[in-house]
Amino acid sequence: MPDRSSRRSDLDRLAAAVLQVGFDGTTPPDWVLRELAGGLGGVVLFARNIDGDPADVVRRLREENPEVIVAADEEGGTVTRLEAARGSSWPGNAALGMLDDVARTERTAAEIGRLLAATGVTLDYAPDVDVNADPANPVIGVRSFGADPGLVARHAAAWVTGLQAQGVAACAKHFPGHGDTVTDSHLALPTLHASRELLERRDLPPFRAAVAAGVRAIMCGHLLVPALDPDLTATLSRRVMTDLLREELGFQGLLVTDAIEMKAVSARMSQPEVAVRALAAGADAICVGISSPGGENVAAMREAIAGAVRDGTLPESRLAEAADRVAALVAWTGGGPAGGPGVPLDPEYGVSRLGLESARLALRAVPGEGAVARPVLTRAPVVIEMTARPHQAIGDAPPYGPAEALAARLPGTTRVTLTPDHHAVPPLGGHGDAPPVLVTRDAHRHAWMRRVLAEVLRRRPDAVVIEMGLPGRPCGAVHLATGGDSRVSAIAAAEWLTSG
């Protein structure tokens, strides 16, 4: 019979196995290395961890625990971790949905898988398979393939297939669907006001398609869905996590929580309590995006999970089941992809050739009254970039606009950045000057952007407008919609404006 200290050690290792944690800095701190040596199951990489070759970070992690799951949010487009410094080589889901070419979507995901595999990442918190039913949604938007459930479902399956063919596990999110919400779950608890019939018809088909495609992981959203459970957030609801996802949809892979420091759950209870209750509801892995400087919150969660088993709050069989699913994902990836051929790059820009081609094809140009001669720009313009405060899923990455690409073609191009707090219209020049270029991101959601647009177009009706969020009402002498906020989308817009 094992002694008490041995049992405590076993429980601690089981509890550590179900945690996936982030850290600050470009070198894993000592507390992360200690947790890894003690059985920590997962580490999440963010842009803040990458300076130079991210594979170096992964190698250091695996020196302490060769079987650690290394996860990242690499969606392509707006949300990127490995390419955050310069912008994504792929235009993102909205652009792919606009093209509606499932073979292209599968190839795109395969290239992202190659990038991750070369780094040593084994779990990608992607694709986003939310149906963006509400254009006012503050956190999904261009991260979604679109507003049509059938379109989102077929591209979700293609994305999962392409990524997982590279040995990297996909993670469809945010179950049961974050698309019809007007609240960012990083900041508060969103409520999904939809009947069960509407959920079945609109929000669940993409998840069913992902399950049918063999998706290895699903991430639940911090959402209140009264039609499923009027009292508990989805993350804490057995009705949502087990009864619906496991029993009805038949998903048997790894069920991951969204980051538990998000205010949707952390404003209501402590992180250790969230972790214990999420596991009891059916989660297998607890994502902790932000850790204390010394990992104190991670240690507290590990201790709370083990303590909940000892006091009977959390059945040991449930914790063991969760740890077994973590181990199953590790076994599926072989402990870490070896990597294969690299991503074919465009020789001029150093980005994915496929991604740039997709961005060019996705570009939608609407001239104003009458035809517009091309090239539209022959002299260096002023680029006025309007950007709202980025949501936390994007992180600290800068917005990727066309100013740099335009400056490479038209030396002397200048950029003015406007924000919600500072958006006075700069000097615009006059007759004989190049038309100003206005860059918006979801102008339909931001009254201040629309006011700036109206003022600039009143003074310079020849202005060019580039919308890098969801396409809105065309305005300006030329209106370009990119369908995404990425480096390749910016390059495609700059090329269009400066080419005949």
Q: In whole angstroms, give the CA distance from residue 47 to residue 395.
A: 8
Q: Which of 180, 258, 284, 442 is catalytic?
A: 258
Q: In whole angstroms, give the CA distance from residue 412 to residue 480.
A: 22
Cα dist from 141 to 118, 127, 356, 470, whole Å: 29, 14, 21, 6
Q: Which of 155, 178, 186, 222 is catalytic?
A: 186
The secondary structure of 42-107 as a DSSP string is EEEE-GGG-SS-HHHHHHHHHHH-TT-EEEE---BTTB-STTTTT--SS--HHHHHHHT-HHHHHH
Which two three-digit tokens encode residue 275?
A: 């972790």
Residue 191 DSSP class: B
- 222 is a catalytic site residue: no
What ranges in 83-232 are assigned the alpha helix state H?
93-99, 102-119, 149-164, 196-198, 205-212
Find how far residue 33's CA is from the centre of its chain.
26
Q: In whole angstroms, give the CA distance from residue 18 to residue 40.
A: 7
- 258 is a catalytic site residue: yes
- 10 Å CB burial of residue 314 (0-12, 13-18, 19+) is buried
Find how far residue 228's CA is from the centre of its chain.
25
User: Which amino acids are annotated catalytic?
Assistant: 186, 258
